């Protein structure tokens, strides 16, 4: 009998984790071996059980999904990571794949698509939609052809989205477990790189480029 696909779910919302467990528990070839609400619980779970695939959220307190992803690929390169995010594909998909993810799905995807993606990643190593493949190809163009936000680091891009969504520096600092001074420094870098002058300019840019709801 073929062994089941071992899956670990990483999401800071318990309701989301419960929903994923319900979906995947009905699949005879899959087994949920661990749940984690973030980086600390994930690292602890990996000392006990190593999964085949990790379902990873992007937006979490402390270390975000992209940071966790990069560390996972450095320390556990054999584990495949499928990013499952609330953000539309055009916001984080290319960054996720470049950071080492084996695929990217939105949380609005049908349960059948998630199940198929897990099986495909386990069997073939990748789950890339046609639209994501096109985005990846476009992303390899020269930097001069990239939009300003595409030149930001992952952390800078995260700060951009949070500020544009209306979060204050203190609120962002608490969410990311960083100091307000550090957030202010990131904000200054974003403004300089994107040649913007104010939060209003930043918000207007984010809206024009579909970076926030």
Reported as a single tens digit per residue, the pLDDT across 127-171 is: 887 777 777 777 665 555 678 888 888 888 889 989 998 999 999
Give the residue among 153, 164, 165, 143 at the shortest CA–CA distance from 189. 153
Q: What is the mean pLDDT of residues 63-82?
A: 89
How high is the pLDDT of residue 145? 65
Reported as a single tens digit per residue, the pLDDT across 112-128 is: 889 999 999 999 888 88
Phi, psi at residue 105, to the nearest 5°?
A: -135, 150
Share of the chain above pLDDT 70, in %: 93
How high is the pLDDT of residue 86? 81
How high is the pLDDT of residue 1? 47
How high is the pLDDT of residue 213? 66
How high is the pLDDT of residue 140? 63
Among the ranges given (8-17, 81-90, 190-199), the one the predictor scored with the smallest mean pLDDT: 81-90
Reported as a single tens digit per residue, the pLDDT across 8-33 is: 999 999 999 999 999 999 899 999 99
The pTM of this model reads: 0.69
Other beta carbons within 10 angstroms of residue 159's beta carbon come to: 26
DSSP conformation letters of 134-187: HHHHHHTS-GGGS-GGGGS-HHHHHHHHHHHTT--HHHHHHHHT--HHHHHHHH
Q: What is the mean pLDDT of residues 191-197?
A: 89
Q: Which residue has the higher pLDDT, 51 or 150?
A: 51
Spell out a b/e string for 48-87, using b for 16 or more CB atoms within 10 Å of the CB, else e: eeebbbbbbbbbbeebbbbbbbebbbeeeeebbbbbbbbb
């Amino acid at each position: 009998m073929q062994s089941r696909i071992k899956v670990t779910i990483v999401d800071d919302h318990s309701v989301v984790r419960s929903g994923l467990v319900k979906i995947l528990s009905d699949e005879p070839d899959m087994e949920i071996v661990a749940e984690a609400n973030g980086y600390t619980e994930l690292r602890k779970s990996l000392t006990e059980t190593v999964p085949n695939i990790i379902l990873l959220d992007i937006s979490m307190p402390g270390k975000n999904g992209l940071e966790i992803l990069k560390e996972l690929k450095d320390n556990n390169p054999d584990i495949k990571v499928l990013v499952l995010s609330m953000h539309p594909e055009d916001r984080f998909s290319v960054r996720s794949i470049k950071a080492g993810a084996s695929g990217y799905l939105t949380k609005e995807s049908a349960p059948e698509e998630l199940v198929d993606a897990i099986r495909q990643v386990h069997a073939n190593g990748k789950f890339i939609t046609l639209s994501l493949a096109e985005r990846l190809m476009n992303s390899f163009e020269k930097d001069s052809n990239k939009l300003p936000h595409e030149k930001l680091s992952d952390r800078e891009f995260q700060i951009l989205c949070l500020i544009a969504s209306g979060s204050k520096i203190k609120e962002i600092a608490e969410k990311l477990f960083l100091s307000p001074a550090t957030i202010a420094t990131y904000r200054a870098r974003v403004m300089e790189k994107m040649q913007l002058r104010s939060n209003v300019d930043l918000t207007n840019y984010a809206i024009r480029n579909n970076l926030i709801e």
